[in-house]
């Protein structure tokens, strides 16, 4: 799909991959709805992105997700692409995993994106098509100690995405998944960490660190090529 003049929702647009992606999409002529919890940051970003629109929403709260989609639709009158990018990491061994933190991670990384999908699907069906891109993680394809909950939340998101793609084929709605690996953003600082967690070996299965712009271009690739699964690097392909 060519993104020019398309209405695109980017969640987690205030930082990292979402910010880089919002800028690239806007440069290519898309109308970008910038979503996160940080009003001031989003307002500042929006000043430089033509035809962008700010919506403050906590993507882990079902009612706020639904309201966000309604606001975007009311503003632009259409929604062509949804990019579920907002997410949070969680570093904890299985033994030390706190169920309340597991719930927080799944609420944002898995349930929020699902609710956003449920909200845009009827709109896209009426429009005759659309695209949904869900940002998973390379960890969803691996078994990295202390990342079980995070990687499982992203594995679930991948399963939901590819199943939705099968369900929505006849409505011309494509649902794809992107698997970034370690990316130079605020992800690690923003992650939840249980006490005494040792992060020294966390990169041992992932050799390189990518820029947010590199990953944003991979996401753009999935939009333009219509590929269902996009991997940050070829070695990740099965």
Ligand X SMILES: NC(=O)c1ccc[n+]([C@@H]2O[C@H](COP(=O)([O-])OP(=O)(O)OC[C@H]3O[C@@H](n4cnc5c(N)ncnc54)[C@H](OP(=O)(O)O)[C@@H]3O)[C@@H](O)[C@H]2O)c1
CB-count exposure of residue 48 (10 Å: 0-12, 13-18, 19+): exposed
Q: Residue 156 and residue 81: Cα distance in Å, rounded?
A: 21
Q: Does residue 137 interact with ligand X by CB under 6 A?
A: yes
> At a CB cut-off of 8 Å and minimum separation 6, what does 123 contact?
69, 73, 78, 79, 130
Is residue 150 flagged as an active site residue? Answer: yes
Q: Which residues, numbered 197-226, are part of the site for ligand X (CB under 6 A)?
A: none
If binding is defined by CB under 6 A, does position 124 make contact with ligand X?
A: no
Q: Does 164 bind ligand X (CB under 6 A)?
A: no
Contact with ligand X (CB under 6 A) among 3, 7, 9, 18: 18
Residue 87 as a binder of ligand X (CB under 6 A): the answer is yes
Shortest spacing between CB 132 and ligand X, in angstroms? 14
- Of positions 70, 163, 186, 211, contacts ligand X by CB under 6 A: 186
Catalytic annotation, pick one of 150, 179, 214, 235: 150
Q: Provide DSSP, 164-220.
A: HHHHHGGGTEEEEEEE--SBSSSHHHHSEE-TT---TTTTTT----B-HHHHHHHHH
32 lines the binding site for ligand X (CB under 6 A): no
**List 102, 149, 168, 182, residue binding ligand X (CB under 6 A):** 182
- Rule CB under 6 A: is residue 44 a binding residue for ligand X? no
Give me the phi and psi of 24, to 5 degrees please.
Answer: -65, -45
Indicate which single residue of 24, 28, 38, 71 sits in contact with ligand X (rule: CB under 6 A): 38
Report the catalytic residues. 150
Residues of this chain that bind ligand X (CB under 6 A):
11-18, 36-38, 41, 58-60, 85-88, 108, 135, 137, 180-183, 185-187, 190
């Amino acid at each position: 799909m060519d993104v020019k003049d398309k209405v695109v929702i980017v969640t987690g647009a205030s930082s990292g991959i979402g910010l880089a992606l919002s800028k690239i999409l806007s440069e290519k002529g898309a109308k970008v709805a910038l979503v996160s919890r940080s009003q001031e940051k989003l307002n500042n970003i929006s000043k430089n992105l033509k035809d962008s629109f700010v919506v403050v929403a906590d993507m882990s709260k079902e009612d706020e997700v639904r309201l966000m989609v309604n606001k975007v639709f009311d503003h632009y009158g259409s929604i062509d692409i949804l990019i579920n990018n907002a997410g949070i990491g969680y570093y904890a061994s299985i033994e030390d995993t706190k169920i309340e933190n597991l719930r927080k991670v799944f609420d944002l990384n898995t349930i929020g994106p699902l609710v956003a999908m449920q909200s845009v699907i009827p709109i896209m069906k009426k429009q005759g098509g659309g695209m949904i891109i869900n940002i998973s993680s390379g960890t969803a394809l691996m078994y990295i100690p202390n990342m079980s909950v995070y990687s499982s939340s992203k594995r679930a998101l991948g399963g939901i995405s590819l199943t939705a793609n099968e369900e929505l084929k006849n409505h011309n709605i494509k649902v794809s998944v992107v698997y970034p690996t370690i990316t130079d953003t605020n992800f690690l600082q923003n992650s939840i960490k249980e006490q005494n967690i040792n992060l020294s070996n966390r990169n041992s299965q992932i050799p390189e660190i990518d820029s947010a712009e590199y990953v944003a271009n991979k996401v753009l690739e999935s939009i333009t090529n219509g590929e269902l699964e996009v991997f940050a690097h070829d070695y990740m392909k099965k």
